[in-house]
Amino acid sequence: MPVMQYQLPNGKVIHLSVEEFLDLTDEDIQYLMSIDYGEHIRDPFTGSAVEKNTKEKYYDFDFIPMDDDELNDIISDDTPFDDIIDLSDNLDI
């Protein structure tokens, strides 16, 4: 579950899930400040994606993996290549 940092009006930071944040009321915030809950942080980017040096995986959704039998059904030795244009005949090489 994703966790976010929320800074209370007194400057302290608490860690909440999105659902907890959406359910947070003014009375909850007053209570958390009255019990001196939370911690002071020095780096506002602590735990963020900014300090992580990882790359997101790229998924090619157009690629459909096939086993050898399916591939052989599509491309076989009997496939006619008459429709393929030979460009080397038209080029002055």
Q: What is the pLDDT of residues 23-79, one digit of tens each?
A: 999 999 999 999 999 998 887 777 666 666 667 677 666 666 667 666 666 666 565
Measured over the CA atoms of residue 41, residue 47, residue 48 and residue 52, the dihedral's sign is positive
Residues in contact with 5: Cβ distance below 8 Å, sequence separation at least 6, in sequence order: 13, 14, 15, 16, 41, 46, 47
Query: Which residue shows structure tokens 């998924």?
Result: 59
Which pLDDT score, from 0 to 100, does residue 83 have? 64
